[in-house]
Amino acid sequence: MQTGSFGPLRKKVKEFASRGKVRIVHPIAVNNKIEVFDTKGKLLYRRKSPVHGTIWDLFNALLYAPELPLTKNITVEVVLVDITEKRVKDGKGTWRRKGISKINKELSAYHESVLFAKKSDYMRFIPFKKGVEFTVTSHAKETGIKRAMSQKVLYVLCKMKVIKRIGKKGNAWVYVR
């Protein structure tokens, strides 16, 4: 189970994969609920977080280890879930949270699980047909994601050799499936 970046896993997971099959489970919180309690355990308030995760967030984790999913015996499973974060107003938390400390996260709902076992499984992130040229901007527009996320996606998929960088059009890199 890896909730953060896959970068720290590079060496150790490759070692485990040389001995047998490894599945990296990466949960992504689609919806977050935040519950704040006082020091006695009384619920003060509950709210929904404005941050919502999507399957595209997988590329934030893969950014520093894009070659990891290509390693033999390694599969990546993305699990889309809802979580409830418990916090306590104890005056010890960071100034950003106004002295409220995080104490626990709990799974509150399961949405779906997506398994990535081979290179072709990552083609779902490229909406263009084989041979059609595209840029970061056209990819972002076609998929409905932000340009910054599109840059991460195309960087990782290029490193994984799912897509190929074939040149430039002005200042923009051009890619093809």
How would residue 94 be classed by pLDDT, with cut points 50, 70 and 90? confident
Mean pLDDT of 58-63: 95
Helix (H, G, I), strand (E, B) or coil at 54: coil
Length of the chain: 177
Q: In which element (H, E) is residue 149 found?
A: helix 147-159
Q: Pairing mode, if any, of strands 43-48 and 22-37?
A: antiparallel
Q: At 107, which helix (H) or strand (E)?
A: strand 100-116
pLDDT in tens, 122-136: 999 999 999 999 999
pLDDT at position 99 is 84
Task: Please say whether the beta carbons of 89 and 39 come within 8 A.
Answer: yes
Digit-coded pLDDT (tens) for 134-174: 999 999 999 999 999 999 999 999 999 999 999 999 999 99
pLDDT category at 96 given cuts 50, 70, 90 is: confident
Cα–Cα distance for residue pair 2/65, rounded to 1 Å: 13
* 92 secondary structure, DSSP code: -
pLDDT at 60 over 90: yes
**CA–CA dist 13, 6 (Å, integer):** 10
Domains (range + CATH), the chain: 1-117 (no CATH), 124-177 (1.10.10.10)
Specify burial of residue 85 (Cβ count, 10 A radius: 0-12, 13-18, 19+): middle
